[in-house]
Amino acid sequence: MLKKGLCLLIGIMMLFCQINVVHATNLASGAESAILIDANSQQVLYHKNETKRLYPASTTKIMTMILLFEAIKEKRINWNDTLSCSAYAASMGGSQVYLEENEKMSVNELFKCVAIASANDASVLIGEGIAGSHQEFVKMMNEKAKQLKLVNTHFKNCTGLHDVEHYTCAKDLATMGAYLIKIGGKKLFSVTSLYDSYIREKNHQKFWLVNTNKLLKQYQGVDGLKTGYTKEAGYCIVTTCKKDNLRLIGVLMNEDKPQTRNEDMKGLLNYGYSKYQQIKLYSKGEVLDTLKIKDLVDQEVKVITPKDIYYLNDRASKGEVKTKIKYNQIELPVFKNQEIGELVVKKQNKTIASYSLYLEKDVKKMNFLDKLLRVYKSLI
């Protein structure tokens, strides 16, 4: 009797274990395209038709926010600046906060409108404030896409409203998401993590912003990033989640329903966090190599890691992890914030991650006096 009971208990436990196992073949079943990456290294953990060109809908606004944060960083615009709404921005359909022509709103509030409520009118107004016109802003979007090496992306607007020549892919959206997180930092998450907020609080026309990303309340650790929907694009989402110091980015494109989209994203995140563990390779500032460069004043310079370097290890995969440094062509002078190569992480002869590398300090080419001094020191 005891033996039968024990067998029954083990059988029940095995059944529950089988139910909880997340298989890659069952992931993102409702999506036409999907990808899951580590936000830090952009190591790909799962992919499905990730380079297929599809319509992005409002996930487009990730690029809008990228250009906003770059403009803030370069002091071409600041959060307290007030922008006056143009007739064109006020005419936007779809998701909006109903900006009126000549209405004034701060860049900070406009950012909240875009990041939380996916407001098309606010997105256009931000673009006009940065570039002077929506058309010029779209040019900037496409230029940035080239800089980020987004080979399957082309923009026709900053809203995501449908245009047959406006497209991207899951892989490119993940790259955009990782870059936005990098430059947006705490300011970005202080807004994208909000389930709701308000604008126009000072002029007695208080307007409630409700986040289109319902996963904020459905999955622990989710704090962004952007949803989207049009009839042509279907339901899309770019999600970021952080657990135990591990940040993942998931992308789903062209789902039939928001509910299935959200469930598919939960499954994707469960897969990532259950299958992979984060392993530290190097600490920030660790010396990886010493270069001897001809005509260098100090003769040699150290190559360092700009941040802690990790990779994600498949818990079920065996094999040694190897690293290799690939250098760019180095021409003096070189500044310490200038990328001089990359650290490539490989497992089973397959590249799983790569990180930019930098010099520990600025270095310059020897001038005539430097050369004389070197000769003099060699004679002493």
CB contact at 8 A, 366 and 295: yes
For 302, phi then psi, to 5°, come to: -90, 145
| Interhelix angle 61-73/107-117, nearest 10 degrees | 150
Kindly name the residue from 33, 41, 58, 354 that is annotated as catalytic. 58
Distance CA 32, CA 49 (A): 7
DSSP states of 41-72 as a string? T--EEEEESTT--B--GGGGHHHHHHHHHHHH
Q: Chain-centre distance of CA 291, in angstroms?
A: 32
Catalytic residue among 61, 171, 266, 275: 61
Alpha carbon separation from 123 to 94, 118, 138, 188, 236 (Å, rounded): 12, 8, 11, 15, 18
* C-beta of residue 66 within 8 angstroms of C-beta of residue 115: no
Q: Is 226 annotated as a binding residue?
A: yes
86 catalytic, yes or no?
A: no
207 phi, psi to nearest 5 deg: -125, 125
Q: Which two tokens stand for residue 364?
A: 């310059």
Two tokens, residue 264: 């598919």
Token readout for 125 is: 């107004």
Decide: 236 and 254 in contact? Cβ < 8 Å. yes
Query: Which of 33, 41, 86, 118 does the annotation list as catalytic?
Result: 118
Alpha helices in 193-257 (DSSP H): none
The amino acid sitting at 249 is: I
Active site residue 33: no
Other residues' Cβ atoms within 10 Å of the Cβ of residue 15: 10
Question: Residue for token digits 């993590």?
Answer: 193
Active-site residue 190, yes or no? no
CB-based contact 252:237 (threshold 8 Å): yes
Please, what's the b/e burial string for 156-187 (b: 16 or more CB within 10 A of its CB; e: otherwise)? Answer: bbbbbbeeeebbbbbbbbbbbbbbbbeebeee
Q: Residue 237's closest CA among 210, 269, 207?
A: 269
Which active-site residues does the annotation give?
58, 61, 118
Q: Binding site for substrate: what residues are annotated?
A: 226
Annotated binding site: 226
